[in-house]
Structure 1
Amino acid sequence: MGINDRVEEIKDEMIKSIKEIVQIKSVTDEKKPGKPFGEGVSKALDKALEISERLGFKTKNLDGYVGYAEYGEGEDYVAVLGHLDVVPEGKGWEFPPYGAEIHDGKMYGRGTMDDKGPIITTLYSLKVIKDLKLPLSKRVRIIFGTNEENGCSEIQYYKDREKPPIMGFTPDGDYPIIYAEKGIVTFDLVKNIKVKSRGDISIEYIEGGERANVVPNHCEAGLKVKNPEDIIKSINKFCNENSIEAKVECKKGLVVITVTGLAAHGSTPELGKNAVMQIFKILGALKIEKSDISDVIDFFNRYVGYETDGKSFGLSLEDKESGKLTFNIGAAHMKDNKISIAFNLRYPVTFKYEDMMGPFNNRISGLGFGIQNMMHQKPLFFPEKHPLIKILQKVYTEQTGEEAKLLAIGGGTYAKDMPNMVAFGPMILGEPETIHNSNEYIKIDHIIRNAKIYAHAIYELAK
């Protein structure tokens, strides 16, 4: 019997196990003893290890941070890494978000695609190899992460206690293979407001966006003005001429400008309509007396504007592997004596951190800006001829009949946190993306298809 035939035989059991784990609400919650990410995440990890033991695998729980199922012998091991934590369910579900109900060939529920469904699928892919007694030269681990949606801190806990795999993949991306992930830098650019405007228009506050890695779809500014009617008329005229969707009104003695934009992921800022950028454009068109905040607005409009590639800032980085640097302003907050602007920059994989931050620091030098809350993830890049890439390409093409094209992304996956890994499925290009959305689902046919692909991939890596 072959791998694919055995997958067909156990598909009902596999789907039942996926349902069991999806039905657990594993949103990160209050830390408890032995449960570093809360009750729900701990229950999901316990259930995954329970299923693993039921299938005959050795298991280990690393203090509630991470767990794994293991099969085989050998000094080295290959691994599959997925996560059991999920984002909050939100509103707008047609079916219960933790019901794992199947309708029209789709299983609905938070985590069905991201990432409970795929990681349990790989567990059953390993079961197929075990059932068929296929010869392996390395151990195989299915690693159950628990903090991917909130920082991946559990992976460092794992690496401090276990040596890394020699090769592996995470089923938490796109097919065919993600071989390159841009470097990601997130920080706040801050400036103290010492010299305030005393003229006919003064800016009392700016408030827009929540997270650096999201294009903000809302931003508001409050102005104290001497002639409200004239200013409102002037702002409306500017917005109409520049296709800015804004509401301008008097509220509590201020002229309040509210801009509505279009949200998008920080890795693809060109797909959104940045409300913060639009507010700065509006404010830049007003005759505001020279002050620290007017200097910030002028600086922003000169070197950022609506650009999403950092060109005017001096950050024109680009390579053939991953394209242009992306430049997102995720939030702006100004009140009292301080302004803070959240940056999310993603630089091409063949460049270094210094190649981007050197020109950035030169641009802001001497202007009184400071950088706070810096976070940096290095790029991930595997050469096209790397053995891991060649093996996964071979498996994908054999199992699907399609060319295994290599993908570069601006986002980040678990592969950035665990050495010697790439993202490999489960998302099929062209299919609707339901991850993090209401009515998240995975097609039953795709679960079975993934199990076959993943079983062959695990075997080829470990044989």
Structure 2
Amino acid sequence: MNLDSYIESLKADIVRTTQEWIKIKSVEGEPKPGMPFGEGVNQALLKALADSAKMGFTTKNVDGYAGYAEYGQGKELVGILVHLDVVPEGDGWSYDPYGGVIVNNRIYGRGTVDNKGPAVACLYALKAIKDLNLPVSKRVRIIYGLNEESGWACMDYYREHEEIPQLGFAPDAEFPIIYAEKGILTLKLAREFSNLKNGELVLKSFKGGLRANMVPDFAVAVLEGSEKALKTASDALENYKKEKGFKMEAVIEGNTLTIKSYGISAHGSLPEKGKNAIAQLLVFLTTLPLPGDDISAYLNFLAEKIGLTYNGENIGLKLSDNVSGNLTLNLGVLELTEKEAYAALNIRYPVTYKKEDLLKILEEKISGTGIYLKDISDMAPLYVPEDHFLVQKLKKVYEEKTGEPARLIAIGGGTYARAIPNAVAFGPLFPGMEELAHQKDEYIDIDHLIQITKIYAAAIYELIK
């Protein structure tokens, strides 16, 4: 019996296991002894390790931070990096997000695509190789991460305490092969205010956005001033809205004007897909007759150097390469009081650049402005060349299994492929499929689930035979 036909015989078990894993609400919770990411995530790990052990794999719980299932022999180790944590379910579901309900051949639930369904597929792919006793010359380890959605502390801990695979893949993006992932630089442009002036109209506060890596869909500013100044500002907003087509509103109460700006949220790696509520409001505020003080200078800098742009062109970061394309910049958070302010930026930079290249440019741009950089974090780019052994093997498998050419893709997002050397993201979505991760009514089609199990079985065996 070959791999494909054997996996077909496992279909009922693959579906059942996926449902069982989906029923565990593995959203990160309060840390507890031996459970650094909370009870739900720990329960998911214990379930995955128990199922792996029943299949005859060597398993290990890495102190509650991660776990793995291993099979094979030899010095070399291939890693399959999956994660068992999920984002919160959110509202508006048609079915129980933790029910694993099957409707129209689809398994519904949080994590069906991101990333429990693909994790189950990889586990059964490895089981098929083991059960058929196919000859192997390397070891393969399915590494179960538990903190992918909120920090990657799981992978940091794993790398510090366990053997690091020489190569591998993460089934947590899309097919054919993602061989390049842009660098991710997150930082804050901060400033304290000492030179403040009174005037007919003053800005008291500005607040918008939730996270640097999300296009903000809401922002609000509060101004104080004379009745005439507030009315003039409110009228100016009406003209600005009509001219730009932005959704904004103003309310005057006593000597206060509250302006609300509404945008459209999107992932920080794709700022062009959203409408930035902070940027809309920021640019408008700089058209008002605010006092020429520190606050005004800070707003003017942000509006001039970032504003409504998202490729970094105004701040000297219009960078690009042939592998991964253009740099993108997202102004994700802005918080301002009369004492201080910060703007949180999420920058996805091309793979042929380093964070030092960007920081040097930014330091030059803010020199003499009173603005400084803080809370800098960086995730280095990923790039595995097309002629690499791993890429060539995965291309071969994908083309044989689908009959389609295996295009190489560069993305701005980040996957676990960055956690080990010589790794790429490989599936589970096929070109043109709807992205359901983090959305309500997330599901995986059962035929799709079985198909990716076959692809992963062929890929794993190709790497370890």
- Tell me the equivalent position of 1:110: 110
Q: 2:219 matched to 1:224?
A: no
1:257 equivalent among 239, 243, 259: 259
Matched, 1:244 2:246: yes
Q: Which moved more, 1:291-300 or 1:395-404?
A: 291-300
**CA deviations over 1:385-444 (Å, ceiling 9, x no partner):** 010000000000000001100000001101112222111000122111110011110110
**Aligned partner of 2:270 among 268, 281, 302:** 268
Q: Matches of 1:22 and 1:302 in 2, distance apart?
A: 47
Hey, what does 1:121 align to over in structure 2? 121
**How many Å apart are 1:234 and its aligned residue?**
2.0
Alpha-carbon separation, structure 2, partners of 1:250 and 1:338: 25
Partners of 2:36 and 2:64 within 8 A in 1 = yes
C-alpha distance in 1 between matches for 2:143 and 2:302: 45
* Residue 390 (structure 1) aligned to one of 381, 389, 392: 392
Partner SS state of residue 207, structure 1: strand
Structure 1 counterpart SS, 2:315: coil
User: Is the 2:324–2:410 Cα contact (8 Å) retained in structure 1?
Assistant: yes
Q: Deviations over 1:133-162 (max 9, x none)?
A: 110001111111111011111112111122
After TM superposition, the score normalised by the length of structure 1 is 0.98
Task: Count the aligned residue pairs.
Answer: 463
State how far apart, in whole Å, the 2-side matches of 1:361 and 1:461 are: 45
How far is the alpha carbon of 1:301 from its aligned partner? Answer: 2.0
- Does residue 87 (structure 1) correspond to residue 78 (structure 2)? The answer is no
Distance of 1:110 and 1:410 partners within structure 2: 23
Instruction: Map residues 144-183 of structure 1 onto 2, 5 A cutoff.
Output: 144-183=144-183
1:436-460 deviation per Cα after TM superposition (whole angstroms, max 9, x unaligned): 0111101101100000000000000
**Alpha-carbon distance, 1:276 to partner:** 0.8
SS in 1 for 2:168: strand
Specify the alignment match of 2:142 in structure 1. Answer: 142
Query: Is the contact between residue 384 and residue 423 of structure 2 (CA under 8 Å) also seen in structure 1?
Result: no
Q: CA deviation at 1:252?
A: 5.8
Q: Show CA shifts across 1:27-81 (max 9, x none).
A: 1111111111110111100000111111111111111111111111111211211
- Counting aligned pairs with the same residue, the percent is 46
3-state DSSP of counterpart to 2:205: strand
The counterpart of 1:295, out of the listed 294, 297, 304, is: 297
Letter in 1 for 2:371: F
Amino acid in the other structure paired with 1:78: V
Distance across 2 between alignment mates of 1:169 and 1:252 = 60
Larger displacement relative to structure 2 (233-242 or 82-91): 233-242
Equivalent residue number for residue 419 of structure 1: 421
Report how far residue 109 of structure 1 moved: 0.3
Whole-Å Cα distance in 1 between the matches of residues 34 and 232 of structure 2? 62
The residue correspondences of 1:316-355 to structure 2 (distance < 5 A) are 316-355=318-357
SS of the aligned residue for 1:222 comes to strand
Unaligned runs of 5+ in 1: none
Shift of 1:253: 3.4
Which residue is 1:206 aligned to?
Answer: 206
Letter in 1 for 2:250: V
Instruction: Name the structure 2 match of 1:47.
Output: 47
Amino acid at match of 1:401: G
- 4+ residue runs over 4 A deviation: none
Contact conserved, 2:169 with 2:417, CA < 8 A, in 1?
A: yes
Q: Distance in 2 between matches of 1:252 and 1:154?
A: 52
Q: Distance in 2 between matches of 1:155 and 1:252?
A: 53
2:185 match: secondary structure: strand
Partners of 2:167 and 2:349 lie apart in 1 by: 25
1:201–1:288 contact (8 Å) kept in structure 2: yes
C-alpha separation in 2, matches of 1:279 and 1:57: 56
AA of the residue aligned to 1:232: S
For 2:2, the aligned partner's letter is: G
CA separation of 1:252/1:67 partners in 2, compared to 1, >3 Å: closer, same or farther? farther
Cα distance in 1 between the residues matched to 2:32 and 2:375: 27
Distance 2:277 2:243 in 1: 16
Alignment-derived partner of residue 444 in structure 1: 446
C-alpha distance after superposition, 1:224-282 (max 9, x if no partner) = 12122222112212222222211011136310110111111110111111111111111
Q: Secondary structure of 2:235's match?
A: helix
Structure-1 residue corresponding to 2:23? 23
**Cα distance in 1 between the residues matched to 2:463 and 2:404:** 20
Deviations 1:324-382 (A, max 9, x none): 10011001100130011011111100111122121111000111112121110000001
Aligned residue for 1:329, secondary structure, equals strand
Rounded Cα–Cα distance in structure 1 between residues aligned with 2:381 and 2:146: 23
Q: Provide the C-alpha distance between the structure 1 equivalents of 2:172 and 2:336, rounded to a whole number of angstroms.
A: 37
After superposition, the CA RMSD in angstroms is 1.0
Q: Distance in 2 between matches of 1:152 and 1:257?
A: 37
Quote the Cα distance in structure 1 between the aligned partners of 2:237 and 2:90.
35
Aligned pairs (5 A) from 1:32-71: 32-71=32-71
TM-score, length-normalised on structure 2? Answer: 0.98
> Is the contact between residue 239 and residue 282 of structure 1 (CA under 8 Å) also seen in structure 2?
no
Equivalent pair of 1:138/1:462 in contact (CA under 8 Å): yes
| Alpha-carbon distance between aligned partners in 1 of 2:320 and 2:442, rounded to the nearest angstrom | 34
Residues of 2 paired with 1:13 and 1:238: CA distance? 59
- Residue matched to 1:185: 185
Q: 1:197, 1:288 within 8 Å by CA — same for their partners in 2?
A: no
- Give the partner amino acid of 2:231: E
Q: Is the 8 A contact 2:167 2:420 kept in 1?
A: no
Mapped to 1, the partners of 2:282 and 2:200 lie a distance apart of 18
- Name the CA distance, whole Å, in 2 between partners of 1:252 and 1:161: 61
Q: Give me the whole-angstrom Cα distance separating, in 1, the residues matched to 2:106 and 2:398.
A: 23
